[in-house]
Amino acid sequence: MFLGILGLLMIVIIVWALIQSKTNPVPIFVIVPIIMAVIAGFGPTEIYGFIKAGVTKTWSTAVLFIFSIIYFSLMGDVGLFDPLVNWLVKKAGSNIVMVTVATSLIAVVAHLDGALASTLLITIPAMLPLYKKLHMRPVVLVCIIGAAMSIMNLVPWGGPVARVGVVLNADVNELWKSLIPLQGIGLIILVAFAAYMGMVEKRRGAGLVPTGKAAELDASMDSVEEAANQAELDAMKRPKLLWFNALLTIGVIGLLCFTKIPLYGAFMFGLALALIVNFPGAKAQAKAIKMHADTAVTMPMILLASGVFLGVLSGTGMMKAMAEMLINIVPQALGGHLQVIFGILGLPIGMLLGTDSYFFGLLPLAIGVGKQFGVHPQDMSMAMLIAKNYGVLVTPHAATTFLACGLAGIEIKELLRFCAPRLYVLSLISLVCGAALGLFAL
């Protein structure tokens, strides 16, 4: 009980501090968990073990961040995405709805491999320049991608379904087949949601002005400083190397999707070739890297620091204690409808616990308690799976959340405030559709 209260308090403090943005996330993820571990009675040696275990789980993704962010930022600098952006601007014109719908479809295709990171790394760099040109908020781009990943992530190789299969000791493909109708409906809902977000942006003034120029945040582009910055960016363009960069990027994505090479290994290889071909000479290569060093270093630092939080949460037993607390507070009268309750609470609980803790910690306990009230394990699993999946991009301590922030150039508080409520509504709609399709009993 004591550990559960400490765990909940730790999560509340961390989430509150991240949203308030009073300090950098790094000290938040390091100091708060260590203090809580000390309060729980653990000594320096034990805490060191927790930290080591947690950071071990996040270091490979941190390395991925460094090379992937610089790679795609570099591809943007050299103009790889300019033809796509210019074509979309020409086709879309002032039709912002077409842009947001296109975003959803691109994200769906990009997520066919089931990897959250690669979906972000493909979709955001390709669409962000267009959003900026049309005076559309980057957080809208991230929100639409989050919705697309949520419904597409129900494929067997996406992760959550596989975890449920392990817990239920069930055939993953059979679980997925039952989810296919929901995915079909979910895609329709996704396109409608993207269109709605486009209408919202249009009402805010996004789009092209009568002169044909993209709407701008202000008229300060005439300043000498910004003109100089633009000239520097123009000097980075490599139009003659467009096909090389395009083929190289396709090759990197191919390595991500069709080989067992670590994600960071694929981007290391791609970045090395991109630097050699696009920027011959040590000075030119150093300059190209330094332009994005801030983002490329900041995000991995945050991720490594979040490993401290995850290590303490798991190693101290706080995660298990919290899961037991959440189950024990359910009133006896509602026991027969536990699957609905946990479905409704799936996204917010999932945001707090994270994917592995949710499926391997909370779900088995929820199934065990549900059995006492006659709730079938598959009913519980389906309800919790459907709702939780919409939280894949709004979990404050998940690697992909910070990757999205880094690529889109937004703060985590902005992502949580904007995306979480909208994705929660989509999760409830999906839950209702799942019940209507008979995926779980009410």
Contact 137, 276 (CB under 8 A): no
For 38-92, how does the pLDDT look when each residue is reduced to its tens digit (9 = 90+)?
Answer: 999 999 999 999 999 988 877 877 787 788 878 888 888 888 877 876 776 666 6
Flag whether 392 is in a domain: yes
Answer yes or no: is 162 within a domain.
Answer: yes
Whether 311 is covered by a domain: the verdict is no
Residue span of the structural domain in which 136 resides: 61-216+230-296
pLDDT value of position 144: 95
Residue 151 or 235, more confident: 151
pLDDT at 31: 93
Is-contact 297 70, C-beta < 8 A? no
- pLDDT tops 50 at residue 185: yes
Mean pLDDT value of segment 124-132: 85
* DSSP one-letter code for 437: T
**Mean pLDDT, range 272-279, rounded to an integer:** 94
Cβ-contact 118, 110 below 8 angstroms: yes
pLDDT beyond 60 at 222: no
pLDDT for the residue 262: 82
Q: Would you list the DSSP string of 290-355?
A: HTTHHHHHHHHHHHHHHHHHHHHHHHTSHHHHHHHHHHHTS-GGGGGGHHHHHHHTHHHHHHHH-H
Q: Is pLDDT larger for residue 242 or for residue 356?
A: 242
Contact 317, 3 (CB under 8 A): yes
127 and 148 part of one domain: yes
pLDDT score for 85: 67
Claim to verify: residue 135 and residue 282 sit in the same structural domain = yes
Q: What is the pLDDT of residue 19?
A: 66
**What's the rounded Cα separation, in Å, for the pair 425 and 146?**
13
At 29, the pLDDT band (50, 70, 90 cuts) reads: confident
Say which DSSP state 261 is in: S
Rounded Cα–Cα distance for residues 200 and 196 (Å): 6
Judgement on whether residues 247 and 380 belong to the same structural domain of the protein: no
Judge whether 406 lies within some domain.
yes
- Does the pLDDT at position 211 exceed 70? no
What is the Cβ-side half-sphere exposure of residue 360, based on CA atoms within 13 angstroms? 9
pLDDT for residue 40: 92
Mean pLDDT computed over 393-400? 81
User: Out of 75-84, 197-206, 357-366, which region has the weakest mean confidence (pLDDT)?
Assistant: 357-366
The mean pLDDT value of the chain amounts to: 82
155/131 same-domain check: yes
Overall average pLDDT of the 307-321 stretch: 84
Clarify whether residues 113 and 254 are in a common domain.
yes
Residue 30, by phi and psi: left (phi above 0), alpha (psi -120 to 50) or beta?
A: alpha
Question: Residues 302, 402: contact at Cβ < 8 Å?
Answer: yes
pLDDT value of position 192: 95
- Output the 3-class SS for 273-301: HHHHHHCCCHHHHHHHHHCCHHHHHHHHH
Task: Determine the pLDDT at residue 286.
Answer: 92
Q: Do 181 and 290 reside in the same domain of the chain?
A: yes
- pLDDT band, residue 298 (cuts 50/70/90): confident
Give every CB contact of residue 211 below 8 A, 6+ residues apart in sequence: none
Kindly report, residue by residue over 77-113, the tens digit of the pLDDT. Answer: 888 877 876 776 666 656 889 889 988 888 887 777 6
Do 160 and 389 meet the contact criterion of CB atoms below 8 Å apart?
yes
Question: Looking at the structure, do residues 18 and 74 belong to the same domain, yes or no?
Answer: no
Q: Residue 7 has what pLDDT?
A: 85
Place 243 in a pLDDT band, splitting at 50, 70 and 90. Answer: very high
SS3 readout for 61-110: HHHHHHHHHHHHHHHHHCCCCHHHHHHHHHHHCCCHHHHHHHHHHHHHHH
Q: Are residues 17 and 77 in the same domain?
A: no
Does residue 439 surpass a pLDDT of 90?
no
Instruction: Kindly state whether residues 332 and 206 are assigned to the same domain.
Output: no
Classify residue 153 as exposed, middle or buried by CB count within 10 Å of its CB (0-12, 13-18, 19+): buried
Q: Please, what is the end-to-end C-alpha distance for the chain in angstroms?
A: 30
Quick one: pLDDT at residue 360?
Answer: 66
Query: Does position 398 have pLDDT exceeding 90, yes or no?
Result: no
**Which of residues 428 and 15 earns the better pLDDT score?**
428
* CA pair distance 294, 94, nearest whole angstrom: 34
Split at pLDDT 50, 70, 90, the class of 425 is very high
Reply yes or no on whether the pLDDT at 218 is more than 50.
no
The separation between CA 411 and the C-alpha centre of its own chain, rounded to angstroms, equals 13
How many distinct structural domains can be found in the chain? 2
What mean pLDDT comes out for the span 241-268?
Answer: 86
409 shares a domain with 326: yes
pLDDT of residue 219: 41
- CA 302, 305, 307, 309 dihedral sign is negative
Question: Is 260 in a helix, a strand, or coil?
Answer: coil
Q: Pick the last residue of a domain from 238, 266, 296.
A: 296
Both tokens of 248, joined, read 């190289």
The answer to whether residues 93 and 37 belong to one domain is no
The residues, ordered by sequence, that sit 6+ positions from 348 with a Cβ below 8 Å of its Cβ are 391, 424
What lies within 8 Å, CB to CB, of 137 at 6+ separation is: 131, 201, 204
